[in-house]
Amino acid sequence: MPALDCGERIEMSAQIVLLPVFVLVGLTFVLLLMAGKRQGADMGGETKTKGIALGLFELPFLFYILIALALPLRHADLVIVMLSWVFVVTCFARVGIFATSNDERQRSLAWLAGVLVLFAMWIYFALRILLLI
């Protein structure tokens, strides 16, 4: 295999780029099922399950858009894939905290970590597009 030039990009296959998306979609469907079951159990109105479920899906929407743009534009490289996995891990952490202790401080930190990773992904993607890197 020839050595890579420092300016050469390694293109990722669609499967590698989309795997974190598929994992996050799976998590989303699990949460939707859980929210539906919880909605039935919480008919007393104590827990606002709709608000909780919607709040869990705001960041993934921005993630899905980024991948949907990066893949056809051929800007989904190793950095995007690695940051995608970090973002998915923060989503799992947030859901895990919500499903167990539901500690608001820990859940907020997991959310903030996801926001920062997603922000970094968008900045990286935008710079690659705008600077033609």
pLDDT tens digit sequence for 1-54: 444 444 556 668 999 999 999 999 999 888 888 876 665 555 555 555 555 555
Do the domain assignments include residue 125? yes
Do the domain assignments include residue 8? no
Domain span holding position 86 = 15-130
Do the domain assignments include residue 72? yes
Non-local CB neighbours of 75 within 8 Å, separated by 6+ positions = 69, 125, 128, 129
Do the domain assignments include residue 10? no
Do the domain assignments include residue 61? yes
The CB density around residue 60, as the number of other CB atoms within 10 Å, is: 19
| pLDDT at residue 4 in the model | 44
Least confidently predicted of 10-24, 93-107, 116-130: 10-24
User: Confidence band (pLDDT; 50, 70, 90) for 73?
Assistant: very high
Report the number of distinct structural domains present in the chain: 1
* Residue 85 predicted with pLDDT over 50: yes
| pLDDT at residue 36 in the model | 67
Do the domain assignments include residue 126? yes
Do the domain assignments include residue 3? no
User: Confidence band (pLDDT; 50, 70, 90) for 68?
Assistant: very high
Do the domain assignments include residue 105? yes
What tokens appear for 1 in the block? Answer: 């295999």
